[in-house]
Amino acid sequence: MLRRRPDPVVTRGGAAAFGVLIAIGAIVLAVPLLPGESAPHEGDIAPRAFAAVRESEYVSEVLTQAAQDEAAEAIEPVMASLEDVPVEQLGLLAVLFEEVSRLRLRSGLTSEERLTALGDSRAGMGLGTAIRSTLLTLDVRDLEDLRSSAVEGVSVILSSPLREEDKANRIEAYLLVGDVPSFPSGEGALRELLEAFVQPTVGLDVDQTEAQRQGARDAAAPVLVTYAAGELIAEEGEQLDAVLIEALRETGVIREGFDYYDLGAGMLMGAALGTVLGVYLYRLQPFSRPAERRGLMTLLAVLGTLVAVRIGLPELLPDTEGRFFAYAMPVAAAALVVSSISAPRFGAMVAVVVALYAGFIAATAPSLAGAAFTSALEPLELVIAYAAGGLAGAATMQRTERLSRFITAGLAVTAATAAVLLAFWLLVEHRQTEDLGWLALAAGVAGGGSAVIGLGLHVLLSTALRVTTRMQLMELAQAGHPILQELQEKAPGTFHHSMLVGTLAEQAANRIGADSLLARAGAYYHDIGKMQRPEYFVENNINRGVSPHDSLAPEASARIIHGHVFDGVEMARRRRLPALVGDFIPQHHGTRLVEFFYHKALERGPADSEAYRYPGPRPQEKEHAIVMLADSCEALVRATQPETHEDIDELVNGVFAERLAEGQLDECDITMKEIQAVAASFRSTLRAVYHPRIEYPDAPDAPDAPAETADGSAPGVGPTPAAPVEGPGRAADE
């Protein structure tokens, strides 16, 4: 039978948009857009010896500036006499004592108010509280003695040129030989007044000094520096200063300004990265629906990792001390996040391209241009270590259903990274034993960081973008989920049926390599719409002899039966069930007819078949097809109660043949080989569930009492006969 190939989850347009966005982000990260972004700085350590690329003779701005500064500093400061200072300070001192006399004579002022008023005056501003209090409380004779001593002291000290640095010594010298007031605290009071009113009479002539120094700068000869091609500029491990950086720049070791060759390289690498990921995204089809959100989550994880590499690597390289800091970056986090929401093979592809691009960034955007690596093997080591860690992490993220997966992935990243670093350590001639500790630490940080950051991004991005993860499916597939508990309470028969369908679907999905967790979760919720009218479905009808459909027209019964699909879809929307699970509700019946009521309507006259048909769509994925088949097989076997294994096999085979004949499986990519494997799985599981009961003979001591059968019922009093296969019971289960 020919099948139409299902539409790809990731379209060509979607893959192209993904690749373009990756390329744009990669180009921005690869090209140094900020001026001087990759220029070296004073204090950087030369990771290797640097020699002049070309012969160069230039005037060193750094050395010339140093020579000019040295010549200027040799000029002595020019001092000027400040002739007005003695007159100004003596006048200000006289004003102070006049203000003191005025405040002493004012009545109605408290001591505090007098102190404040004196401190606010022009002459008293800057005087301490102690001297102001002394001036206001001295008797008249002592105050006059202090005034005359202060005037004499200021006059004597300022009578000869005075520089600022000589002020303190000149005051102390005067106090030793000058006229000091005779009251007990007179010397201290005089010292405070002299310190306040003695000011330098000689100061720096700024204009003259700067003019002479500028003349010295102009007279300094420019410093000419010459380098021959290949001449050593800086040795390995030497600290770079302004002179060496200028030499590296002038001799062509460092290129400045915007380089169009760098732009071209960045554009090519970015385009290659975007093309590879876009093509593989379309070819591998790693996402389940809705693919757009998973693609956006992948985009953010990849670009976020590359941004971290772009920021971190220039700071961590070159590794001149053998600390392996660059290898501790959790680059594998991108592969872990992508693998957790897609097929691990796409996560492995992400791990490889991210590692390659990280190596490109390290080589083109270092803190010292052209000097990110200290040996020829180091760039290869960096790329292989990143790639190996990412590949190991991606390989362990298959079916990420529990948090422990991230722990396992972190250990795998650590082991792979450590193995690569150890292998390259063995190749180094000057290896040191203490390096092994740093190596192990870097590998551990890389693995642990990748696991923690990967888990954080997984939870954060999946929540923000509403991406259904396997951990969410695992939660939904627990029988204690609130929706399933409600189903068990309102429609216990439907709940039991859903559990059995989940078991059938899970076993079959495992056999053909489909997503068994998704199949189980979808089976658990496929009939939740029956909670709205549980009594109209035979598995919930306790009174088997009476059906509520007996009093309804076929059209009304059909509306109720396929109405559980509409009710289920609405309930899934209200309860915010993920679309991955909600898709099972309309697809588990496809576009089939509610046959019993359709045939019943035909008995009354012509009937429109579309009114009795489920809305669909037909199953789009293998898991949807498995649940459709499991739903029909379990309902039919339960209703028929077959006596032998052969009867079960015949019923299962009949359901599969009928669905294939109806074309219900034409829109999903399940193969005939897989269909046969699913049928075999169903037959095996249903044989175990609906096995024939063993009947025991009557007990000899009670011939009239019926013995119990294996299922607890009396022989001859078997279970209530099920509804006929073509009766309302089957229609309700369908």
Q: d(Cα 289, Cα 358) in Å, to the nearest integer?
A: 30
Question: Residue 524 in contact with residue 480, Cβ under 8 Å?
Answer: no
Selection from 469-478, 501-510, 573-582 with the highest mean pLDDT: 501-510
Tokens of 173: 């010298």
Tokens of 307: 């941004």
Q: d(Cα 362, Cα 348) in Å, to the nearest integer?
A: 21
H/E stretch holding 18? helix 12-30
Please name the residues in contact with 344: beta carbons below 8 A apart, sequence gap of 6 or more.
394, 395, 397, 398
Confidence bin at 4 (pLDDT 50/70/90): very low
Q: CA torsion sign, 166 to 171 to 177 to 179?
A: positive
Q: d(Cα 17, Cα 274) in Å, to the nearest integer?
A: 9
Q: What is the pTM of this model?
A: 0.60
- The pLDDT assigned to 316 comes to 81
Give pLDDT tens digits for 274-308: 999 999 999 988 887 778 888 999 999 999 999 99
Give pLDDT tens digits for 354-384: 999 998 888 776 544 445 666 667 888 999 9
Task: Give me the phi and psi of 682, to 5 degrees please.
Answer: -60, -45
- The pLDDT assigned to 390 comes to 94
Tokens of 200: 């330098």
Q: How many CB atoms lie within 10 A of CB 200?
A: 17
Region of 342 on the Ramachandran plot (φ > 0 left; ψ -120 to 50 alpha; else beta): beta
What is the share, in percent, of the chain residues with pLDDT greater than 90? Answer: 39
Question: Residue 604 in contact with residue 502, Cβ under 8 Å?
Answer: no
Please give the angle made by the CA atoms of 511, 660 and 688, to the nearest 5 degrees: 40
Q: At what angle do helices 333-341 and 344-364 cross, to 10 degrees?
A: 160
- The pLDDT assigned to 274 comes to 93
Confidence bin at 400 (pLDDT 50/70/90): low
More confident site: 514 or 6: 514
Q: d(Cα 18, Cα 279) in Å, to the nearest integer?
A: 10
Question: Residue 22 in contact with residue 278, Cβ under 8 Å?
Answer: yes
Q: d(Cα 332, Cα 338) in Å, to the nearest integer?
A: 10
- State CA 555 to chain mean position distance: 55
Selection from 105-109, 486-490, 690-694 with the highest mean pLDDT: 486-490
The whole-chain average pLDDT of the chain stands at 84
Q: d(Cα 134, Cα 137) in Å, to the nearest integer?
A: 5
Q: Is the pLDDT reported for residue 727 higher than 80?
A: no
Domains and CATH numbers, the chain: 12-39+256-467 (1.10.1760.20), 79-196 (no CATH), 479-733 (no CATH)
Please give the angle made by the CA atoms of 81, 83 and 86, to the nearest 5 degrees: 125
**Exposed e or buried b per residue across 240-275, where buried means at least 16 C-beta atoms within 10 angstroms of its C-beta:** beebbbbbbbbbebbeeeeeeebeebbeebbbbbbe
Q: Is the pLDDT reported for residue 434 higher than 70?
A: yes
The burial class, CB within 10 Å (0-12 / 13-18 / 19+), for 628 is buried
- The pLDDT assigned to 697 comes to 61
Confidence bin at 32 (pLDDT 50/70/90): low
Confidence bin at 320 (pLDDT 50/70/90): low
Q: Is the pLDDT reported for residue 6 higher than 70?
A: no
Q: Is the pLDDT reported for residue 634 higher than 90?
A: yes
Confidence bin at 1 (pLDDT 50/70/90): very low
Q: Is the pLDDT reported for residue 711 higher than 60?
A: no
Give pLDDT tens digits for 535-563: 888 888 776 667 788 778 888 888 888 88
Q: Is the pLDDT reported for residue 724 higher than 50?
A: no
Q: How far is CA 439 from CA 414, 419, 423, 424, in A?
A: 11, 10, 11, 11
- The pLDDT assigned to 715 comes to 34
Give pLDDT tens digits for 233-280: 888 778 889 999 888 888 877 766 556 777 788 889 999 999 999 999
- The pLDDT assigned to 364 comes to 75
Q: How far is CA 582 from CA 161, 367, 506, 574, 576, in A?
A: 98, 52, 17, 11, 9
Q: d(Cα 171, Cα 158) in Å, to the nearest integer?
A: 10
DSSP reduced 3-state for 694: coil
- The pLDDT assigned to 713 comes to 32
Q: Is the pLDDT reported for residue 732 higher than 50?
A: no
- The pLDDT assigned to 695 comes to 57
- The pLDDT assigned to 257 comes to 57
